[in-house]
Chain A
C-alpha cells in the first residue's frame, strides 16, 4: 500500500438528517399549498381565523417549499457529493450540525411568525429582521464549512457540480443581505431601507435570482453529480459545462427587472431585464442538453429505472420553464401574463417538475446507500413517479388556462368601446373549474409525496443495527503541481476553446470563487447604480405626501394580513388597465412606500386608486364579510379588525423608523398617537353617520379604512382629491 495515502470517513449521518428534513418540510409545504389552493375554490376554508387566512398562509407555502424543501434537498445532495468529489470529510462536524439545526430553527420560526402576520411584505423575503440575521449567520456557517472542505480536499480539480455550489453559496449571501436591509421598528417589525421604485427593483433583483441561485444553480450542481451516477454515463460535454456555467452566472443577475414591465420602474431597466432574459435562454438550455445527452445510450435503462425517469422529467421541466422564462420576459407577452395565474403555472412547472423531481430521484438513489439496505419498494417509487407526473400535468394545464383566460378577459372590449367584463368578479368566477382541477392535480402530487415518505420510512426500518462507515483512502494534494497539458493548438481562439485556462481555475478555488463573485457583483452594479443614481428615474410629484400616522398603522395591517398577495397596487399604462382602475401609476407616487406594495398577482382587483372610490362604511362591511358587498367574492373576511384594539401608542415607533429613513414627518415626529386618535375619531364618526357600527374609533379597522381611502389620491391636485379614482 502506498504509505502516502491518508485514511478518513465520510460523514453520512448529516446527509441522513438533511434527507429527512427535506421530506418532512416538503410534505408540510405542499400540504399548505393544497390548503391555500382549496381556499381559492372554497373561501369559507379561511374559517375567519387570522392565522389560517390565505394572505398569511401563502408566504408560508412559498417559503416552506423553496427554503425548507428545496433548501434541505440541496444541502442533502451537496453534503453527500462534496465529500466524495473532494475526497475528504466535511471541514467540521460541528459546523455541519450548526448548519443543520440552525436551518431547521429558521424554518420553525418562519412557520410560527408568518401565520402570526410578521412579514416584510417582500416575496420570498418575508421573514422579519431577527430571522434574516439568523439566516445570514447560518449561511455563513455553511459557507465556512463548505469552503473549509474545499481547502482540505484531496482532489486537485473542482468538478462542475462544485462550481454550481460555489455560485449558489456566494450569490445567495449577497442577494439575501442586500434585499433585506431594513430599519427595525420593533422586535419583529421593520421597514425596507429602499422605497417605491428602488425597493421594487431590489426585490426583483433578489426575487428572480432566488429562483436562479436557490432553485436553479444548486439543482444543476446536484444534476451534474447524481445524474451520471445513476445513469453510469460520462457527462456529455465538459466545454458546454464551462460555457453554460459562466453565462448563467453572469446573465441571470440582470434578468430581475423583467418582473416589472409596464410598472413605474424606468423602461430602460425592465428592457435590460428582458434582453438579458432572452440571452439566458441558451445558457439555461446548456444544462438541459448536458443532462439529456448524458443519457444517450441509457434510454433503455430509463424505461426500467424510476430514478432516471424522475431525472428525465425534471430536466424536461427545467427546459420548459427556462424557455418559458425568456418568453414571459418579452414585454408584450408579459403584458398579458403578468398578474395572472400564468406565472403561478410557470413557477410550478419549475418547482414541482424540476426541483421536486430532481430531489425525488436523488433521494431514491441515496436512500439505499445511506440506509445501507435495499429500497423498500421499487414499484411504489414507480407509482410515485406516475402520480406526481399526472399531478403536474393536471396542475399546470389548469392553471395555464386560468392565467390565459383571466388575462384575455381583463383586456376584452365590447363593440361600444367599453370593457367586456367591467366587474372583476366575473373574471374570477370563470376560473373556478380550473381552480378545482388544480386541487385535483395538487392532491395527486401530494399523494405521491406520502408514498415517497412511506417508502423511505420502510427502507429506513430495514437499516442495519449500526451503519458501516467505510474507511476511504486518498493521497493528499502534493505541494507542487504541473498541469497535464494537451498539445496546444495554434491560434489564440483555438487555445481559448480548448479551455486549458479554465482547467487551471478549477484547481484554484479562491480564484474561482472570486471570479464568480466578480461576475455577479459587476452585473448587479451595472443595473443597481443607475437605478439609484439617475434622478429622472423617479420624477418628484409635489402633491405626494407621507402617510398620516393612522394611515401608516393601517398600511402595516395591510402588510400583516398579506393583502399584497392578492391585490396589486400598480396600474400599468395600458388602456384596459386605466379604463378599469384609473390613471396609471407614476414613479413619484411611491417615494414614501417602505416597502413597496406593488404585488405580483391579481387574485382580486388592483387597489392603487382605491382611495375615495367607496364610502368608509363600504370598506368596513367589505373587510368584515366580503360577501356582504359581493356575493361571489372569494376574499377572506377580516372580522377581527372590528374588534382588535389598535395600538395607538405603538404608532410613534413606526413614525420614528420612517423618519430615520428620511420620510419628512414634521410635527408628527413627536405626536403621532394623538394625530392618529384624532383622525380615527373622524373616520369612526363618518362610519357611524353612514349607518355603520358606532364604536369603532379605537379599533384596527379604522386604520385600515384610513389607509385604503388614501391610496392613489395624492397624485391629483389636493383640491380635486375627492375625484381621485375617476379615469
Chain B
C-alpha cells in the first residue's frame, strides 16, 4: 500500500491464466508482525515459573484478600425478633419479601409456602426451629446437608430480612396442597399477632 503500486512488476508465473506481482510486503504489515514477535518473547517472562509473573492463583488469592478488606462491615447480629415480627405485619416489607420468595424460594417451598421438596412453611411444625431468630438463621446460613442454600451469602441483608418476615407472615395461612408436617411443633414459633 505504498508508492510501489506504480512499480508493479509481473512475475513470469502463469497458472491457468492467473498471474502474480512481485510486490514487496507492505511495510506496516511487516513492522506489526515483528512487533508481535517481540511482544510474544517479552510476555513469556510473565509466566510463573519461567518469568516474574505471580500466576493466576496468586492473582486470585490477592483479589479475594483485597475484596475482603474492602467489604463494608456486615451487621454482627441479624435483626431482632421484635423487628422481624413488626416487619411481618408491614405491607411494604411483605411486598418485597414476597418478591424475593417468588424468585428464590418457590422452587422448593411452593408458591404459597405449602412445601414441595422443602417443608411446609405455613404449619406450626419446624425442622430447624420456628422462632424468628431460628427462621432467620436457617435462611441466612442455610442447611447445606438438606439442600437449603445459605442465602445470606448471595442475597442482600435487607432481602434476607424481608423474606424471613414474609415467611413468618405465612404462619397459619392455608396453602392449596400442604405438605404433611415435618419436624416438631415449635411452641416458641412466632405467629404474627394478627395473622392474615
Contacts and interface: CB of A to CB of B under 8 A. Distances in A.
Contacts of B13: 157, 159, 238
Given A240-B25, A268-B49, A285-B29, A416 B156 contact: yes
Interface string B16-52: 1111111111100110110011011001101111100
A628 B107 CA distance: 7
B56 A573 contact: yes
Contacts of A631: 106
Contacts of B107: 618, 628-630
B190 interface: no
Contacts of B95: none
Given A268-B49, A416-B72, A691-B117, A727 B43 contact: no
A618 B64 contact: no
Interface residues of A, number: 71
Interface in A378-433: 414-419, 422-423
Interface string A262-301: 1000011001001110110111011001000100100000
A484 interface: yes
A613 interface: yes
A96 to B, nearest CB: 19
Interface in B42-94: 43-44, 46-50, 55-57, 59-60, 63-64, 67, 70-72, 74
A85 interface: yes
Contact of A618 (B20, B37, B147): B147
Given A238-B22, A629-B107, A575 B16 contact: no
B188 interface: no
A235 B18 contact: yes
A11 interface: no
B193 interface: no
A725 interface: yes
A428 to B, nearest CB: 13
A275 B5 CA distance: 33
B103 interface: yes
Nearest to B62: A575
A240 B117 CA distance: 66
A725 B153 CA distance: 13
B140 interface: no
A615 B43 contact: no
A239 B40 contact: no
Contacts of B103: 423
A26 B10 CA distance: 38
A629 B146 CA distance: 17
A690 interface: yes
Given A281-B36, A289-B29, A416-B157, A267 B146 contact: no
B144 A723 contact: yes
Nearest to A723: B144
Contacts of A278: 36, 39-40
The contact size tier of chain B is: 35 or more
B153 to A, nearest CB: 7
Interface string A101-134: 0000000000000000000000000000000000
A268 B147 CA distance: 39
Contacts of A630: 107
A16 interface: no
Contacts of A235: 18-21
Nearest to B180: A691
Contact of A228 (B11, B18, B37, B46): B18
Contacts of B1: 289, 293
Nearest to B179: A691
Contacts of A419: 154
A575 B145 CA distance: 24
A726 B154 CA distance: 11
Give the one of A279, A285, A417 with max B CB within 10 A: A279
B20 A422 contact: no
Nearest to B16: A84
Given A296-B5, A575-B64, A237 B47 contact: no
A417 B70 contact: yes
A717 interface: no
Nearest to A575: B63
A573 B57 CA distance: 6
Contacts of A546: none
A722 interface: yes
Nearest to A297: B5
A9 interface: no
Nearest to B111: A631
Interface in A611-638: 612-615, 617-618, 621, 628-631
B108 interface: yes
Contacts of A584: 60
A274 B42 CA distance: 13
B155 interface: yes
A279 B40 contact: yes
A419 B144 CA distance: 20
A575 B21 contact: no
A682 interface: no
A574 interface: yes
Contact of A282 (B32, B71, B154): B32
A374 interface: no
A722 B55 contact: no
Give the one of B59, B71, B107, B179 with max A CB within 10 A: B107
Nearest to B66: A575
A223 to B, nearest CB: 12
A236 B32 contact: no
Interface string A294-319: 00100000000000000000000000
B150 interface: yes
Contacts of B150: 726
Contacts of A274: 43
Interface string A435-472: 00000000000000000000000000000000000000
Nearest to B48: A267
Interface string A706-727: 0000000000000000110111
A234 B12 contact: no
Contact of B155 (A85, A240, A422): A422
Contacts of A722: 144-145
B67 A417 contact: yes
A418 B21 contact: no
Contacts of A262: 56
Interface in A172-229: 225, 228-229
A268 B59 CA distance: 15
B192 to A, nearest CB: 27
Interface string A146-162: 00000000010101100
A422 B154 contact: yes
Contacts of A617: 117
Contacts of B12: 484
A239 B153 contact: no
A279 B37 contact: yes
A241 interface: yes
B158 to A, nearest CB: 10
A628 B109 CA distance: 11
A243 interface: yes
B23 A237 contact: yes
B149 interface: yes
Nearest to A241: B20
Q: Which 10 A-B pairs have the closest CB atoms?
A: A282-B33, A422-B154, A275-B40, A234-B19, A573-B60, A417-B71, A615-B147, A237-B23, A159-B15, A238-B20
Interface of B: 1, 5, 8, 10-13, 15-26, 29-30, 32-33, 36-37, 39-40, 43-44, 46-50, 55-57, 59-60, 63-64, 67, 70-72, 74, 103-104, 106-108, 116-117, 144-147, 149-150, 153-157, 179
Given A243-B25, A422-B155, A618-B117, 6 more contacts: A225-B16, A240-B29, A278-B40, A573-B59, A617-B117, A727-B153
20 contacts: A84-B16, A85-B16, A159-B13, A228-B19, A234-B18, A234-B20, A234-B21, A237-B20, A267-B47, A267-B56, A268-B47, A275-B43, A278-B36, A289-B26, A289-B29, A293-B23, A417-B71, A578-B60, A578-B64, A615-B108
